[in-house]
Amino acid sequence: MKRKKDPVKRRLAKIRSALRNVWRYDYNRRAVLKDALDEDGDFKCPICKRMFPEYAADVDHLPPLGGFTNLKEAGDWMIRLFEGPQRVLCKPCHKAIPTKAR
């Protein structure tokens, strides 16, 4: 028998996903990427210290965003998503960071 999904959790997941999609095109995120690139369009990953082209860049939040369990927490999460400190990492380093430590 299939378990019914919690409608509140499902709604919060959709809100989180929609906000992440908006953030992908946000001015501040693009500015972080632009500032990390050199004149050749490459960037140096602060973790592995290697050079990568722009397409290998991922923007990481410091401290980690985590999640939210209700709409009141979503407001604070959204402020951190758009206005919190961010850095550019290469995709392998970003993926290697544990979710809780990110």
Give me the pLDDT at residue 8, please. 86
Measured CA distances, 97 to 35, 41, 55, 60, 94 (Å): 22, 24, 19, 10, 6
What are the residue boundaries of the structural domains of the chain, listed by start?
7-96
Q: Which two tokens stand for residue 69?
A: 């369990």
Looking at 31-93, which runs of residues are DSSP E strands? Answer: 42-44, 51-53, 57-61, 86-90
Kindly report, residue by residue over 14-56, the tens digit of the pLDDT.
999 999 999 999 999 999 999 999 999 999 999 999 999 999 9
Is the whole model's pTM more than 0.85, yes or no? no
Say how many residues make up the chain: 102
